[in-house]
Every structure is written in C-alpha cells, then in structure tokens.
C-alpha cells in the first residue's frame, strides 16, 4: 500500500518540479506577488491607510530614502491619509505628538528596531547605535555626567577659542563686502572642530584650512547615506558592508577618516606602559576614561572609544545643520532679522553681553530663543524617522492597541507640523508663535532631540555651542543673503545635510 501511495505521489512532484523549471520566472513572480498580498491583507494593521506598495513591501521606504527627501514624503503622506499611515508591511508612521509621547514614555518597552544595527562600528556600538536596551542604559549611565551642561561649562575655554577662530575667518570675508562667503561650509567646519576640542582636546583643522580635509565630512555623509538606505532592509547588510569576505578584499577597505585616526591616536597616546590610561584633563575622552576606571567590567575601553568617537559623527552634522537652518530662515525673514538684531543690540548697549557671549546671557534673549526653537521646529536636523518596535505584549498608542512586533515610526518634520499644537500656520517660520501660544506645551511636543530614555545625550553640547556662537555672529556682522529666497540645498541621509548658504558680510560698527 505504501508503495502504491509513493508511486501515485511521485508523478505530482515530478510534474511540479518540471513546471517550476519551465516557468521559473512566472513562479517566482507569483510567489513575490502572493507574499506581498499576504503581508498587505493578513496583518493586524491591514486597516491602516497608506500607499499600496508600502503595505506589500519595503520598496516604498527604500525609494523614499533614496530620494533624499523622505521627510517631505512623510509630510505629504500624512496630509493625504491622516495622522496614522502604514509605511511598510509591519510599520506605522504617526503624526500625532500624543502618539510620540506614548512611544517615547520611559518604561513602556518600545525598543529600537534593527535599523540602528547597520550603523558602524559594528563591533563597538555607541549610545545611538546600540540596540540592546540593557547595554544602552549601561553606557548612558556612565556618559550622562560627561555630557552634562555643567561639564560643558567647564569646557568653555576651548569652545570659545574655536568661536574666536571662526570670527577671524569671518572678518576676512567682512573686510571686502563684495566677497562671497559660504557660511554653510564655515559653520560645518566649525561644528566638527568644536567636537574635536570637546572630545579630544584637539582640532581636526577643517576651519583653519577652510576645507574638508581628506574628504572626511563627505565620507561621513556617504556612510550615513548607506546607513539610512540599508537600514530600511538591515538583513541585507551582511551581503554589503558587513560581508564576512570584506576583510580579505583589499579594494573594499575604506580608509579611516581624519576624525577616526585622531580618536585612535588620542586613546593610544593616553595609554600607559602598565595598561592603564591617563585620565587627567577636562575633555570627553578623559571623563569617560575616569568612568572606566570606576567600573571597568561594565564600562569597557571599547565603550569609551565608541562614545567619544560617536560624539563626532552624531554631534557635528546635526549641530551644523541646525545653525545653517537658523541663518537661512532668519535671513529670509527681514522682519525677524531686524527684530533679532534689535534685541542683540539692546543687550550689548546695556552691557549684558560678554566679549564672548555666555550661555546664561544667551538664555535671557527671549526673541533669540524663540528663533532658535522655531528653526529646530521647522527644519529639525534629523530627516529620517525614529524607529521603535512595539513590546511583545502589545501597547496602546494614541487610543488604539497595537500588537507586539509592529514597528512604529516618528518623523520630527511631521510631528512639528501638528496644527493643534503649533497653530494653523505650522508650516511657516514664525518665532512669534512662542509668545502667542503655550510655549511649554509646544516645547513638550518637540522631538528634535528624540525623547524618553533615548533623548539625545549630546543635546547639552549642541545647545551650549549654538547659544554662544549664533549670537556672536549676529552681534558682529550684518549678513545679506546672496540669493534671497533661493531654497537651501539639502538632502536627508540620516541627518539633514545642507549647503549653499552663501552670504555677504559687513562688520557692524561698535
């Protein structure tokens, strides 16, 4: 009987295999279509609206990221479909600040997705790229104090030295009112060199030379482009940058950036013959080394290096982008610029500003603070989404329950345009809204630094640096856009990388 059954089944298998062989492309195409339809309709989020392609595959996300303006795509999606949009087979994007609060809330169990696992270095993730929650919390525990505002105050000297160097370079442009100044580049170089001083007590030399040394900044942009794109399909990373064959292929070994080489040199320079490290000093590396001495088992030398090194990559582009947006938005709004200049002038005449503006002095300039908040609201420095996974037991987000495993996405460009929170003119750059509406409520719904337990650890440095240098520039120069109204050129890889802020400078009279 068994023989008969085996004989009767064999022809079916043979026929099936023959059919597959003869019509391989048709079968493969049918399987892909079938899988896509299954993912679209057999899903707990099948009723969430969104593009058809997004519900079937991650191709929509890939294409949107590749376009370089995924933040604009998300704004358009939410305006078409509403506050909840399906952006991938198992991903939902939210436009509601209330949803953001639910997702960012500490202790709710929303963990990072594998999107972050693509970011380098693979062997030693930093606070931003670490996807293991216990390890992320452990690293952050030791890094909080070195990144605190109080510690930034202690580093005022090196930061102010960089501000003075920037002023010297801007003076060269101001000496000839017809000389074109690419302010976007100078601010970018400044931001990188400040991080060099803060992290390693050593400048990278970008601002001094007014050039991207060894193409390091472009290299970071290229790396981020890869991270943002492949992060949408992280399982493909094993075939690309983290291919196990890569170390054996000499043509596939990228040269380390200037920043990485300096980081390696500084750590090696501080290592003593007995294997311990010189942790004296006030820079970030020294403080992290002191934390390592306190508990070397939980906070390793790899952790020290990855956090100090990661500070350069995470803090420079984001701070530069925000400063570029600030000047672009302010200078394209003549009334705003005039009001801002008046506030700075009055503070100067009243003797309320030091030769190098202090952080405390900057906090008292209310209109400036409104302009800075508004710039971060309209053009946050991160263009891609913040991705999290719903905990295994599921969770309620803005009044609806989502089962475990569903991935959620939040984009600051979308969240910051919620009209219920920021007003009907939320698309517009208008600092006055911070005096007309409830400023505390608006501030609580801002996501430019993330939120919850994953709030950006470098925010104190970014705010400290920007509060000092932006007012310094406003006080010392009259700035005119070379191309009034021309959109600022930018693309979103992960951070919003901008260029083309060309201006004319004129030294202001005392």
456 is annotated as contributing to ligand binding: yes
CB atoms within 10 A of CB 167: 16
Pick from 60, 59, 53: nearest CA to 74:
60
CB of 411 closer than 8 Å to CB of 385: yes
CB of 59 closer than 8 Å to CB of 53: yes
Q: How far is CA 253 from CA 213, 230, 263, in A?
A: 19, 18, 19
Q: How far apart are CA 140 and CA 307, in angstroms?
A: 9
For the chain, give percent helix, strand, coil, nearest 5: 55, 10, 35
Pick from 87, 134, 151: nearest CA to 115:
87
Per-residue tokens: 334: 């003549």
CA 329 vs. chain centroid, Å, equals 20
Q: How far apart are CA 229 and CA 72, in angstroms?
A: 16
SS3 letters across 415-469: HCCCHHHHCCCCCCCCCCHHHHCCHHHHHHCCCCCCCHHHCCCCHHHHHHHHHHH
CB of 503 closer than 8 Å to CB of 331: yes
Q: Taking the alpha carbons of 412, 417, 420, 422 in that order, is the dihedral positive or negative?
A: positive
475, burial (CB in 10 Å: exposed 0-12, middle 13-18, buried 19+) = middle
Which residues 6+ apart lie within 8 Å of 93 measured at CB?
Answer: 74, 77, 78, 84, 85, 86, 87, 385, 408, 409, 410, 411, 414
Which residues 6+ apart lie within 8 Å of 170 measured at CB?
Answer: 181, 186, 473, 476, 477, 505
Per-residue tokens: 375: 């710039």
* Binding-site residue positions for heme: 456
* Binding-site residue positions: 456
């Amino acid at each position: 009987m068994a023989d008969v059954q085996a004989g009767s089944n064999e022809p079916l298998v043979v026929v099936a295999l023959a059919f597959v062989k003869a019509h391989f492309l048709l079968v493969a195409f049918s399987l892909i279509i079938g899988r896509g339809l299954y993912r679209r309709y057999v899903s707990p989020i099948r009723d969430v609206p969104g593009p058809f392609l997004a519900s079937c595959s991650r191709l929509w996300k890939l294409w949107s990221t590749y376009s370089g303006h995924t933040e604009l795509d998300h704004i358009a999606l939410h305006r078409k479909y509403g506050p909840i949009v399906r952006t991938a087979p198992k991903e939902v994007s939210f436009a509601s600040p209330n949803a953001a609060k639910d997702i960012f809330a500490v202790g709710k169990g929303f963990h990072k997705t594998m999107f972050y696992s693509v970011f380098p270095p693979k062997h030693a993730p930093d606070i931003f790229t670490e996807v293991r929650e216990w390890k992320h919390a452990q690293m952050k525990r030791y890094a909080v104090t070195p990144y605190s505002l109080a510690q930034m105050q202690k580093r005022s000297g090196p930061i102010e030295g960089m501000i003075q160097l920037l002023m010297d370079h801007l003076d060269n442009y101001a000496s000839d009112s017809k000389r074109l100044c690419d302010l976007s580049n100078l601010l970018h170089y400044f931001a990188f060199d400040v991080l060099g001083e803060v992290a390693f007590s050593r400048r990278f030399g970008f601002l001094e030379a007014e050039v991207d040394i060894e193409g390091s900044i472009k290299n970071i942009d290229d790396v981020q482009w890869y991270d943002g794109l492949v992060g949408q399909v992280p399982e493909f990373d094993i075939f690309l940058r983290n291919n196990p064959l890569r170390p054996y292929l000499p043509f596939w070994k990228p040269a380390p950036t200037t920043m990485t080489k300096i980081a390696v040199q500084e750590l090696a320079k501080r290592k003593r013959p007995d294997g311990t490290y010189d942790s004296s000093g006030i820079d970030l590396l020294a403080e992290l080394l002191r934390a390592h001495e306190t508990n070397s088992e939980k906070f390793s030398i790899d952790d020290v290096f990855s956090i100090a090194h990661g500070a350069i990559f995470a803090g420079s582009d984001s701070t530069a982008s925000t400063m570029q947006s600030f000047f672009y938005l302010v200078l394209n709004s003549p009334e705003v610029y005039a009001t801002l200049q008046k506030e700075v002038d009055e503070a100067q005449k009243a003797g309320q500003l030091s030769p190098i503006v202090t952080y405390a002095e900057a906090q008292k300039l209310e209109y400036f603070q409104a302009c800075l908040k508004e710039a971060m609201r309209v053009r946050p420095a991160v263009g891609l989404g913040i991705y999290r996974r719903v905990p295994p037991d599921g969770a309620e987000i803005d009044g609806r329950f989502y089962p475990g495993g569903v991935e959620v996405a939040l984009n600051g460009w979308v969240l910051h345009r919620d009209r219920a929170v920021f007003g009907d003119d939320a698309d517009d750059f208008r600092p006055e809204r911070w005096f007309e509406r409830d400023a505390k409520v608006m501030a609580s719904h801002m996501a430019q630094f993330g939120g919850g337990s994953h709030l950006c650890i470098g925010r104190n440095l970014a705010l400290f640096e920007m509060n000092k240098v932006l007012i310094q520039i406003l006080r010392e120069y009259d700035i005119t856009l070379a191309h009034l109204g021309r959109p600022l050129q930018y693309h979103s890889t992960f951070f919003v990388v901008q260029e083309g802020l060309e201006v004319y400078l004129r030294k202001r009279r005392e």
